[in-house]
Amino acid sequence: MVSKSSHISRLSKPMARLVTAAFWLPVPALALYVILFPDQLADRPGLTAAHFPAGPLSAPATAAAIAALVIISAPTLWGLWELKRLFEGYAAGAIFNIGAALRLRACGYAVLLSAAKTGVGSVLLSLALSIDRPQNARALVVSFSSDDLALLLIGGIVLVIARVMEEAARIADENAAFV
């Protein structure tokens, strides 16, 4: 009979590779999105009320839009990196230990930080799209989404599960020390 931990290890190897690929994809994809489809930026949720003109962007506005999207993607990238490390640990057999719990906790914090992406993203993108507009036509947009609330709840749940795993690993270490 094959142990459950070997199943976890076997499943974690391809997951680590998948998450690694997902980690490297967003930044070039976001840059291509801004360069190839600049007219769609004004239609992003939360920005439509500012009535930014659709169309090509200047080089400074393009660079600012790419930077804004990368900045708001940073928590997701951090979470993917920690998730990759978590799966690599699982693949190596490190399933119920403090290291795995700490990586899961980092994933939870990354999800919590991702909850700010709508508000921060709308501010940064509205600043980027305002670069080329006349002084009296610039707009600063702040928006929020119910998805942000869901991310807060999911991040909180992941943090609680990580804390439970930390405590279980601590108890397991104590028990192993008595034997």
Whole-model pTM? 0.85
Tokens representing 114 are 């991702």
Report the C-alpha dihedral over residues 69, 141, 116, 32, rounded to 10 degrees. Answer: -10
How far apart, in whole angstroms, are the C-alpha atoms of residue 124 and residue 61? 11
| pLDDT tens-place string over residues 124-166 | 999 999 998 888 888 888 888 889 999 999 999 999 999 999 9
Looking at every residue in the chain, the average pLDDT score rounds to 91
Tokens representing 128 are 């980027």
How many helices and strands in the chain, by DSSP H and E?
6, 0
Return the half-sphere exposure (C-beta side, CA atoms, 13 A cut-off) of residue 116: 11
What pLDDT is recorded for position 4? 64
Is the CB of residue 8 less than 8 Å from the CB of residue 87?
no
* Residue type, position 129, single letter: L
Q: Where are the domains of the chain?
A: 4-178
Return the half-sphere exposure (C-beta side, CA atoms, 13 A cut-off) of residue 17: 5
Report the C-alpha dihedral over residues 75, 77, 78, 83, rounded to 10 degrees. Answer: 120
| pLDDT tens-place string over residues 105-115 | 999 999 999 99
